[in-house]
Amino acid sequence: MTTKEIRSPLPGTFYRRPSPEEPPFIEDGGAVAEGAVVGLVEVMKTFHEVKADAGGTNARYLIENEQPVTAGDVILEVDG
């Protein structure tokens, strides 16, 4: 089984949930479908969706909610 990395496309602030009162896009340990939104990156008050370019199981976030990210940072790992 291989581990796939989902990376931030932009620098900014990473969000694991669509809003503070909603659940995370993906739960740790859950499954991820290719093309699914796994988070948001905020850049200058604009939110950009981060989509999985590969699907898998046993998702693990490496970036905490509201943590700064740079382009290319690994946000999520999934087993494929």
pLDDT tens, residue by residue, 38-61: 999 999 999 999 999 989 999 999
1 pLDDT more than 90: no
Under CATH, which number does the domain 3-79 receive? 2.40.50.100
Domain residue limits, the chain:
3-79
pTM, rounded to two decimals: 0.90
26 pLDDT more than 80: yes
Q: Sheet holding 46-51: strands in order across?
A: 46-51, 37-43, 12-15, 67-69
The percent of the chain in helix, strand and coil, each rounded to the nearest 5, is 0, 50, 50
What's the pLDDT score for residue 32?
Answer: 95
User: Per-residue pLDDT averaged across 8-33, rounded?
Assistant: 95
What's the pLDDT score for residue 80?
Answer: 83
Average pLDDT, the chain: 95
